[in-house]
Amino acid sequence: MKAKLDWQGCDYQVDFNQPLNIGLALVPGLDNPNCFYAPPFEASPLKAGDFVGDTRKGGVVNFFNVRLNPHGNGTHTECMGHISVERQSINASLPVFHYFARVISIYPQKVENGDRIIQKEQLESFLSSEVETPAIVIRTLPNDHFKAKTNYSGANPPYFSAEAIDYLVDRKCEHLLVDLPSVDREEDEGKLLAHKAFWKYDGDQRLQATITELIYVPSSIEDGLYLLNLQIAAFELDATPSKPILYELKEL
């Protein structure tokens, strides 16, 4: 199915039969990205008396219990409830699911202490001349398929400076999608400067803004403008596993 979209005075055509998945599927076990020492994703059949919820073990249906930590197991989308004392759910924070999105690829910069950081100046070089988009998708470089199975716990992966996040907020980015386990440093003494900057936690809070982490953008997807479908489970929690989908836009 194809559709015509109008945005910023330009007409685009999108083919909904050509989805580009940038989420990671969860499989039971260790073949998933993992971070912050979360237990691995598990799926096990329910057992009750003579009933077993596994057709391979003689059950009449598959009926599995699932254990996961959205923040630690695979692609997930979170709202400000991730850091707030007040309980806020991603289900209530994200009522709309389609957005124009820009994909950019960035090498995090290595600084004196060995950390690798995405800096404001790098974002400016990509975005300063571009039309503001409500969603920004950031692919870090180098890019390889090992991101789909990396255990980031204790590895001090790249993160964002608070100034870089401030710049995205100034550009009216409402939805940030990254292939990192967090926008903040793995161990930062609980400061959470990037998270707080994105949601303007200490000011005019952005309750509808979301962060999606642990995506994977295949190298076959070029930088540029896309339509994003941000699919989430209807969890009344601060975060949920998610499946972001991009669609190519053809300018008419």
Nearest-angstrom CA–CA distance, 69 and 84: 18
Confidence bin at 155 (pLDDT 50/70/90):
very high
> How many Cβ atoms from other residues are within 10 Å of residue 204's Cβ?
6
Cis peptide before 142 (omega within 30 of 0): yes
Confidence bin at 1 (pLDDT 50/70/90):
confident
pLDDT of residue 252: 87
pLDDT of residue 30: 86
pLDDT tens readout for residues 109-153: 999 999 999 999 999 999 988 889 999 999 999 998 899 999 999
- 112 burial via Cβ count (<10 Å: 0-12, 13-18, 19+): exposed
pLDDT of residue 136: 98
Write the single-letter amino acid at 160: F
pLDDT tens readout for residues 158-184: 999 999 999 999 999 999 999 999 999
Sequence-separated (6 or more) residues with CB below 8 Å from residue 215? 22, 23, 24, 75, 137, 177, 178, 179, 244
pLDDT of residue 246: 98
Tokens 């290595």 sit on residue: 110
Confidence bin at 82 (pLDDT 50/70/90):
very high
Query: Do residues 91 and 235 make contact, with C-beta atoms less than 8 angstroms apart?
Result: yes
pLDDT tens readout for residues 187-213: 999 999 999 999 999 999 999 999 999
pLDDT of residue 195: 98
How many residues does the structure list for the chain?
A: 252
Q: Is the pLDDT of residue 66 over 90?
A: yes
Nearest-angstrom CA–CA distance, 131 and 173: 11
Report which of 34, 40, 29, 21 is spatially closest to residue 214, judged by C-alpha positions: 34
Q: Is the pLDDT of residue 3 over 90?
A: no
Nearest-angstrom CA–CA distance, 19 and 248: 8
Nearest-angstrom CA–CA distance, 162 and 179: 18
Q: Is the pLDDT of residue 229 over 90?
A: yes
* DSSP bridge partners of 135: 101, 175
| CATH 3.50.30.50, applies to 2-25+70-251 | yes
pLDDT of residue 118: 98
Angle formed at CA 74 by CA 64 and CA 192, multiple of 5 degrees:
130
In sequence order, what DSSP letters do the residues of 215-247 get, joined into one string? Answer: ----TTSPSEEEEEEEEE---SSSEEEEEEEEE
pLDDT of residue 153: 96
pLDDT tens readout for residues 20-65: 999 999 988 888 899 999 999 999 999 999 999 999 999 999 999 9
Q: Is the pLDDT of residue 9 over 90?
A: no
**Which three-class secondary structure state does DSSP give residue 196?**
helix
pTM of full prediction above 0.75? yes
